[in-house]
Structure 1
Amino acid sequence: MKNLKQLELLEDVLENSSIILPITINGKRRSEIEVAKDTSKNEIIALAKEATSKWLEEKSIIKEIYVPNKLVNLVVK
């Protein structure tokens, strides 16, 4: 009975926890961000741009790819 309650608490924590998303630029991993699971795509893209700003200097973003709960990829030229 005690283990069942602990398991239920653990499931609640896992469902409401944050995730770490790797950020890649042109397919190369440059950084990562930690966000809540329910964070919107626009917020995640903005955080990704902020976290990788030194690699984005003097470059233009061609495409923003967000795979929910997996990764963010910015294609630049």
Structure 2
Amino acid sequence: MERTIVAFRQDEVGDWVAVLACGHGQHVRHTPPLSDRSWVLEAAGRARFIGYKLDCRICDGDDIRAVLSDDAP
């Protein structure tokens, strides 16, 4: 399901995570040559992506975290 980016935060190792409207997070790493997301390195670049939509694999049920939360007591 497409969800809107509402904010960004850094994880425990300093990688950037897009915070989605559903409450889930999605990493948006800049790791050339695998992924070129240099926009994530600057505050202005991240601000441009507020409101952008990303597919939330947790909401889709396609992520192991979705499976684990369904099995939790």
Q: TM-score by structure 2 length?
A: 0.26
Query: Per residue, is there more helix in 1 or in 2?
Result: 1
Larger radius of gyration: 1
